[in-house]
Amino acid sequence: MDILPQVQDALTYMASVKATHIENKLLASRASYEELAPLAGEEEAVFAVENKVIALNGRAINIRIYRPGDKKALPALIFFHGGGFFKGSLDSHDRPLRQLANLSGVVIISVDYRLAPEYPFPNGLNDCVEATVWIMQHAATLDIDKQRIAVAGDSAGGTLATIVAGKLKQLVCQVLIYPLTSYTFDTPSWQAFAEGPVLTLKKGIELWEYYTEDRSKAAPICNDDLSGMPDTFIITAEYDPLRDEGMAYAEKLRHANVQVTEKLYPKMIHGFVQMGGVIDQGKEALTDIAAYIRYKLLPVHGNSFRHSAGVS
């Protein structure tokens, strides 16, 4: 591997964040993950940020709404954070989502779904599906355009996003950022990067153990009926063990006649899109995502997306 200096800076920062004061391994991992937020850069100002609690079948779910301006009935992107299904929060992804709202000009809505192992599959997924339905049903109250809604997520959040997209056919598109799509760990990228950087084989096995025993139902690549999926943008990273399963899922979507846009970021690591404060390609990826969102949800702005983003 040719580790770029900026990537090494990010890895060095990650290695310095250890919640050694917390004895519980799970809680320590969650706390350490939250401490990685500064890698995304400074907290950008957004026109309006609103925290809201929504009621879903007897339980309360937190969402955070980022409004880039005062225009009425803007399109919306519903975002599900990464963290291996067992960590992550509204705060862990706050900075890149602020940036994405400003870059894209659409409303970003982040969903704080329940985490494994306390709430294993399908609890978190149900939160994501039902929160998306709730947002669609309350589009007028939220002042968003019901006809122009998309979903997105990074890593495990990408897994959740694409399953939501398969259940709710009225979505315009989905953005999957190095998604976790399989559980077999048998691809060349898993073999090449079993020891990381960032995501290791040991961590991959652990997150599936936390999440579910019924892995074939939870892994998107096991879905043999991808017909009706919305247009899709898939981001992968060269030095990521999830690289090959993300590409395999892109190919499976194409076989189902789904319009897929795909971009591999060379020499990048898992999680780099959250590291735009340190890694230039993280900023580039957010810019590409924003361009794709505008292309699909605000088409008047999107004529040059493919050329400018360098995607396939």
Active site residues: 155, 240, 270
Rounded Cα–Cα distance for residues 36 and 109 (Å): 21
List, in sequence order, every beta strand (DSSP E) within the chain.
Answer: 48-56, 59-67, 74-80, 107-112, 144-154, 173-177, 231-237, 260-265
Question: How far, CA to CA in Å, does 194 sit from each of 13, 30, 82, 242, 308?
Answer: 21, 22, 19, 10, 33
Question: Which residues 6+ apart lie within 8 Å of 141 measured at CB?
Answer: none
Residue 306 to residue 85: CA distance in whole angstroms: 32
Instruction: Work out the angle between the directed axes of helices 280-297 and 94-104 (0-180°, nearest 10).
Output: 50
Calpha distance 202→214 (Å, rounded): 19
Retrieve residue 172's tokens. Answer: 């315009």
DSSP structural state of residue 161: H
Which two tokens mark 153?
């997520």
C-alpha span between 68 and 310 (Å, rounded): 26
Beta-carbon-side half-sphere exposure of residue 305 (alpha carbons within 13 Å): 24
